[in-house]
A and B are shown apart, each in its own frame.
Chain A
Amino acid sequence: GQNIDQPTEMTATEGAIVQINCTYQTSGFNGLFWYQQHAGEAPTFLSYNVLDGLEEKGRFSSFLSRSKGYSYLLLKELQMKDSASYLCAVRDAGNNRKLIWGLGTSLAVNP
């Protein structure tokens, strides 16, 4: 079966660092995406990993270990505007390139 697990909620303090974990068990794998979604808005793309290792993009970094079925999103120098849901999605290995979505992690950044 297809399964993606993320923590439901996390809380962090402005200026701090937070790591959001994602584990997956899917029949195929062809890349992992992280999206940010503010309440009432559509998801927006943050990062993409297809090979093992760390991808850094400004304050956000994403890590992938394919052998462990594990990824994390690292947010540095947290700002209040980072309060949002963070969605992990795995791309199917089939021709349809369909994304399999986690339920999302709701991050609250407190002053």
Chain B
Amino acid sequence: DTGVSQDPRHKITKRGQNVTFRCDPISEHNRLYWYRQTLGQGPEFLTYFQNEAQLEKSRLLSDRFSAERPKGSFSTLEIQRTEQGDSAMYLCASSLSSEPYEQYFGPGTRLTVT
């Protein structure tokens, strides 16, 4: 399967703990995006990379959130000191950096903070 993959698919953690998610994009895609989605809402943009450079980070993202893409391939999203409000589906998508920049999504990581 050459689609976008994410790991883990589900994560249950206690408030205050740190969690890290991984995303492996489609291999030839140099753009990678992270979104958060809650029930009944559209995806909420968190951040995106072109190759290893993080080009934009949402103002909604607190400093508890950090993302890396060290070699321009896979990416990790870390949430420190998790809060119950962080419970959501975290989606990763990738695209080429050429028209139409169509984004392909991974299956998501569902985070539950108890």
CA distance A19 to B62 in the complex (A): 38
In contact, B91 and A99 (Cβ under 8 angstroms) = no
User: In the complex, how many residue pairs between chain A and chain B have their CB atoms under 8 Å apart?
Assistant: 52
Smallest CB–CB gap between A71 and chain B, Å? Answer: 15
CA distance A91 to B95 in the complex (A): 13
Smallest CB–CB gap between B87 and chain A, Å? Answer: 15
Residues of B within 8 A of A87 (CB): 42-43
CA distance A100 to B104 in the complex (A): 15
In contact, B103 and A45 (Cβ under 8 angstroms) = yes
In A16-59, the 8 Å CB interface with B consists of 31, 33, 41-45, 48, 50
Smallest CB–CB gap between A39 and chain B, Å? Answer: 9
Residues of A within 8 A of B55 (CB): 96
Q: With A98-B48, A103-B40 in contact, do A45 and B102 touch (Cβ < 8 Å)?
A: yes
Chain B contact residues, majority secondary structure: loop
Residues of B within 8 A of A44 (CB): 105
Smallest CB–CB gap between A30 and chain B, Å? Answer: 9
CA distance A33 to B91 in the complex (A): 17
Size of chain B's interface in residues, with CB distance under 8 A?
22
Cβ-defined partner of B43 (8 Å) among A41, A45, A101: A101
* Chain A 42-83 interface mask (CB, 8 Å, partner B; 1/0): 111100101000000000000000000000000000000000
In contact, B105 and A42 (Cβ under 8 angstroms) = yes
Residues of A within 8 A of B40 (CB): 103-104, 106
Chain B minimum-CB-distance residue to A33 = B102
In contact, A103 and B107 (Cβ under 8 angstroms) = no
In contact, A102 and B45 (Cβ under 8 angstroms) = no
In contact, A102 and B48 (Cβ under 8 angstroms) = no
Q: With A101-B42, A103-B40 in contact, do A91 and B101 touch (Cβ < 8 Å)?
A: yes
Cβ-defined partner of A96 (8 Å) among B42, B48, B106: B48
Which residues from chain A sit less than 8 Å from chain B, CB to CB? 4, 31, 33, 41-45, 48, 50, 87, 89, 91, 96-104, 106
User: What are 6 of the A-B contact pairs (CB < 8 Å)?
Assistant: A44-B105, A48-B102, A89-B42, A101-B42, A101-B45, A102-B42
Q: A-B pairs with the 6 shortest C-beta distances?
A: A101-B42, A42-B105, A97-B101, A48-B100, A103-B42, A101-B43
